[in-house]
Structure 1
Amino acid sequence: MRDGSGRWVWAAAGGLVVAVGTAYFLLPLEGLGKDRSRLGWPLFALCLGLLAALLLRQVRYVVLEKPHTRPGVMIPLLMCLAVLVFSAGYYALAQRPGQFTGLSTRVDALYFTVVTLATVGYGDITPSGQEARLVAVAQILYTFIFLTAAATALSRRLHAVVAARDRRTPPS
């Protein structure tokens, strides 16, 4: 990482988060909830499946201690993308009458996703329709399985990096 390639990787990851975040606010997601729900659900499942596979790949790299990988960059990036996919799904679903109470904007959807992820549940936005409740359950299970495994692997990797750095540092 001292050769400057680490900065490039972090810049690229940050740029990707900004690009996807911008796309989240600009893409016409409204149509996926009302008019094109048959397109929206497979797209939602495909995105989550792809992110799950990529997260599990990073977890595998950490467990196998595979050299020249960057789970410290990739895992947080993939976790952010998962949040945005769930937010987009909630926003599209909120376009259908009776699915949500209190969710009308993309910021509301992002807020609800983070509140659900953090298991805070303020109660100001509630899934009232069956589909909305199923997606909320899916998010909770996704968090338990994939995001928790990824966060645990990231923690393990950071612990190993710090321990290795401590072993290399000569005593003062």
Structure 2
Amino acid sequence: MPRTVLAALVVVAYFLLPLDHLGPQHPVLSWVVFCLVLTLVALLLLRQVRQVLAERPGARPGLAIALLTVLAVHVFAAAYYALSHQPGQFSGLHTRLDALYFTVVTLATVGYGDITPRGQTARVVTIVQILYTFVFLTAGATALGQWMRELAVRRAERTDRDRPG
């Protein structure tokens, strides 16, 4: 299945999955799922970074890194949405779209202030998202940029070789 289809499925799943079963009703399950999925995404991102650094021929990290980033964003959004059901954790976060919006605003370090983590758990998850972004998503974006530069150089060299001269 193409990775672009998988990314679309992640978005659709986020809006359709029964996330109401997570959060205060099942805190242990919620934390286990959150930690396992983020760990899996981090390991897969690091694998893609390693492939770029090792300059493996045929590696195509572009779509994989983008898909993993989309997945990480939606995992954090799901966590925020689940936390929003616990009184006192968030102010201004009521819907899945609010949670996704807050995740993207936090990821972009914009922080409009219309949604704020009030409770300690919400603040911890926000801190985890910021650190996760600094370490894993930034490493993935950097590797992707390096891969794209190398690809452009190889294409330019091929074009130069193919020119009559």
TM over 0.5: yes
Q: Does 1:47 align with 2:34?
A: no
The residue that corresponds to 1:63 in the other structure is 53
Q: Does 1:109 align with 2:99?
A: yes
CA distance in 1, matches of 2:94, 2:20: 11
The answer to whether the 8 Å contact 2:4/2:63 transfers is no
Aligned amino acid, residue 118 of structure 1: A
The residue that corresponds to 1:34 in the other structure is 24
The residue that corresponds to 1:83 in the other structure is 73
Correspondent of 2:136 among 134, 146, 156: 146
The residue that corresponds to 1:136 in the other structure is 126
CA distance in 2, matches of 1:81, 1:16: 10
CA distance in 2, matches of 1:143, 1:169: 37
Q: Per-residue CA shift, 1:126-149, capped at 9, x if unaligned?
A: 000000000000000000000000
Aligned amino acid, residue 86 of structure 2: R
The residue that corresponds to 1:119 in the other structure is 109
The residue that corresponds to 1:166 in the other structure is 156
CA distance in 2, matches of 1:36, 1:144: 29
Aligned amino acid, residue 139 of structure 1: Q
Structure 2 portions without partners, runs of 5+: none
CA distance in 2, matches of 1:69, 1:167: 19
CA distance in 2, matches of 1:17, 1:72: 13
Which secondary structure state, in structure 1, belongs to the residue aligned with residue 2 of structure 2? helix
Which secondary structure state, in structure 2, belongs to the residue aligned with residue 97 of structure 1? coil
Q: Return the offset for 1:14.
A: 1.3
Which secondary structure state, in structure 2, belongs to the residue aligned with residue 124 of structure 1? coil
Normalising by structure 2, we get a TM-score of: 0.95
Which secondary structure state, in structure 2, belongs to the residue aligned with residue 109 of structure 1? helix
Correspondent of 1:94 among 75, 84, 88: 84
Which secondary structure state, in structure 2, belongs to the residue aligned with residue 169 of structure 1? helix
The answer to whether the 8 Å contact 2:10/2:70 transfers is no
Runs of 4+ in 1 over 2 A off after TM superposition: none
Q: Return the offset for 1:62.
A: 0.1
The residue that corresponds to 1:7 in the other structure is none
CA distance in 2, matches of 1:100, 1:152: 32
Structure 1 portions without partners, runs of 5+: 1-10
